[in-house]
Amino acid sequence: MHRLPTCTLALALAACSGGTRATPTDEPRAAGEPVAPDALAGPSAAEQARARRAAFANPGGMWMPRQMIDHAARLRELGLEVDAAALADPTAAPLSAVVSLGGCTGSFVSAEGLIITNHHCVQSALQLNSTPEANLVETGFVAATRADEKPAGPSQRVYVAQKMTDVTAQMLEGLSAIAEPRDRGREVEAREKALVSACEQDRPAVKCRVSSFFAASEWQLIEYLELRDVRLVYVPHRAIGNYGGEIDNWAWPRHTGDFAFLRAYVGPDGQPADPSPDNVPFQPPAHLELSVEGVAADDLVFVAGYPGRTSRLQTAAEATRMATWTYPRNIEKARLRMAVLERLQQAGGETAIKAGVLRQSVQNVLEKQEGILDTVARGDLLANKAADEAALRTWAAADASRARYLDALDRLTALLADTWAFEDEHEAWRDAVNASSLLAEAVFLVRWVHEQQQPDAERKPGFQARDRSLVEAKQRTFTRKFDRTIDRALWELMLTRAAAEPAAASWLRPMLGLGKRGKLDARAIDQALDRIYRGTQLDDEAARLALLDATPAALGRSKDPFVRLAVALYPLVEALVAREEADKGEALLVAPVYAEGLLAFRGGGGVAPDANSTLRVSFGIVRGYQLPGGEPYTPFTTAPQIVEKHTGAEPFDAPAALREQIATAAWGPYAAAALGVVPVDFLSDVDTTGGNSGSPILDARGRLVGLHFDRNKEGVASEVYFLAETTRSIATDIRYVLWVADAVDQADHVLRELGIEPAL
């Protein structure tokens, strides 16, 4: 492993800047001898900025774009070369080039709708286009022409943020006057739907969402352009895009080329449209410029994207619950699912392809949660959370005007305890109902039918007329992703697990259609599943789509076992929804007050809200890290190290074409000056989480230098408590992306569209 020098602040000005430094001579300067002008000159502005970056301790923060203005002075000191205001406006470059893919992030990199994201973000699209004879999940894909680009899937969307409006007053005004918690929750939901409806009225190309921040003390109405025709352009081989697989997942060093290209299309009139051969490439409001020079150690970088969820503003009780109950149970169940999916990967055919894609997803979450618990066990995370909360209580108790913050914290803690007791009681039931994707679809469709009996404005979000086109698209996607063998195996797993709990017999027997006296064992479950799957036609797309227009009476007459079970479960599901509404309504009066107190205690503007799948910006430094007692990790890996790691067996099975090109040592313009070879991945301490996958890493001039795809295992606990010393984000270096496209895959047309002339 190549190691780069680590410099302290004291040494940085003299030895690490790469600029001019004093050179010792054999002869001392004579008294009175004039001093050369260069000797009098202090460090240059660039050298000073580099020294400040080397000494910078990142506080973390996934900042709302507007908050970047608050960091303008610090960013200038760290060497920012663009106006900080450019990082504060989501509707202007470069942020307007960053898009949500619905779970991942992408960014436009050409004026013709070309999008770059992660390899692992397009696994579903590859699977939808794969057959046992042409397994694109394995081989990757390069479209020779635009006519050869393949659909990314019926439900794939690209969301381009266009406007953000503060609607806090509209959402919160008068809520305290509503006495019943469930009514309060319903009122907030009604206000949200009204705002969305007004935003989307007569604008079919626009999707609007109301998102809350700082524990629902702030609300924003966000407007997105929704692009519905998305196609695969270029994805490298699996053993490039997922090199190292689960062994290297959440680890460093990494050698993963986690990149892929999509393209967004619109109708001939330039407006979003359903997929059609007549559609034309979308012309984005902005696209990112790539930097072939890339970045070096101690450089300033940014990440812009749509991070999913963090819980740093949670209470100490919530952190303890996570560490002692939620994650341990999730890990146990994920390991069981992994074993089932690993077995099914040996089945061959489409079942093996689908099991492999699903297993990668399960394994990713599993290892992340294992990493969080490992960090909790090794460190003082829970103690730190408790100490922080104790300090908050001391601060609030010191002033009578802050008493409401203590009251809110106490009420919130009591509410959470009540909610957790309910979760404990229903855990096995929820697991059993959710384990089968076919049953989950049946439950959704039954809810859909019942919701349609209400006026559109009174239906639940997700069940309104505005949602129908996406619901239909998801049903078409479900058809291509569903596999009976996988579905049955995973459902049987969770039913068998539930049967081991005596209390589950009261609901498990009727769920499976078993009598009151028969054995509730593996044989009985197996026979019940044989009957249920033999009698269903719900895996037929036409049958599911037809249910969208059914009536409750028609559902009651259905003979399909999954539909009948979903009908029987409907009252229980509605009771759970009512419970969640009441909990939400209760929290609406106390959580915002707690958040207000926490922000006042921490200094207000210096706090980033928890991630909630809205656009955020983080900044940091390209740097390695060192664990106590361990060797220092340098921030770059290189292409030759791929061959050193190669074993010929998955996951270290680098393709022959890749190894041959590495052997030539023909790096072209893509070699890093400090390394002499092409870098593969790099580390930085930018703050990221799930949903940031595919996020562009930008340099101090706003140019694309990498793609975020992972974090180190020691840093995943930053979702709860940011640990600056060991939290690192891992990115694929853009120079490796370009080198692979040029030297390995000969994707010359893609390079030229990126503004790069092929050189190899």
Residues tagged active-site: 120, 258, 693
The C-alpha angle with vertex 96 and arms to 91 and 97, in degrees rounded to 5, equals 170
Which helix (H) or strand (E) covers residue 412, if one does? helix 403-434
Quote the distance between the C-alpha of residue 728 and its chain's center: 16
- Rounded to whole angstroms, what are the CA distances from 270 to 78, 93, 101, 308? 41, 20, 20, 30
Strand, helix or coil for residue 457: helix
Q: Which helix (H) or strand (E) holds 638?
A: strand 636-638
Q: Tell me the three state secondary structure of residue 14.
A: helix
User: Nearest 5°: CA angle at 364, between 134 and 491?
Assistant: 80
Q: Identify the residue whose tokens are 């009536």.
A: 551
| Pairwise CA distance, residues 165 & 223, whole Å | 9
CA distance 326 to 319: 10
Among 159, 129, 154, 150, CA closest to 691: 159
Structure tokens at 737: 């992306």
Q: Nearest to residue 389, comparing CAs of 323, 312, 316?
A: 316
Match 């569903």 to its residue by tokens.
Answer: 482
Six-digit token string for 711: 């974090």
d(CA 706, CA 107): 11
Apex CA 523: angle with CA 438 and CA 487, to 5°? 20
How remote is the C-alpha of 566 from its chain's centroid? Answer: 31
Residues in the chain: 760
Distance (Å, whole) CA 102 – CA 514: 40
Rounded to the nearest angstrom, the gap between the alpha carbon of residue 142 and the centroid of all alpha carbons in its chain is 25
Distance CA 372, CA 721 (A): 10
Q: Are strands 300-305 and 280-281 parallel, antiparallel or unpaired?
A: unpaired
| Strands across the sheet containing 729-733 | 616-621, 300-305, 696-699, 704-711, 729-733, 679-684, 636-638
Phi, psi of 476 (to 5 degrees): -70, -40
Q: Are strands 260-266 and 280-281 parallel, antiparallel or unpaired?
A: antiparallel
As a dihedral over the C-alpha atoms of residue 607, residue 613, residue 619, residue 624, rounded to 10 degrees, the angle is 110
Residue 113 CB coordination number (10 Å): 24
Distance CA 98, CA 94 (A): 7
Calpha distance 488→639 (Å, rounded)? 43
**Cα first-last separation, the chain:** 26
CA 417/CA 692 separation, integer angstroms: 31
How far apart, in Å, are the Cα atoms of 450 and each of 393, 540, 547? 46, 21, 11
> Cα dihedral sign for 538, 541, 542, 548?
positive
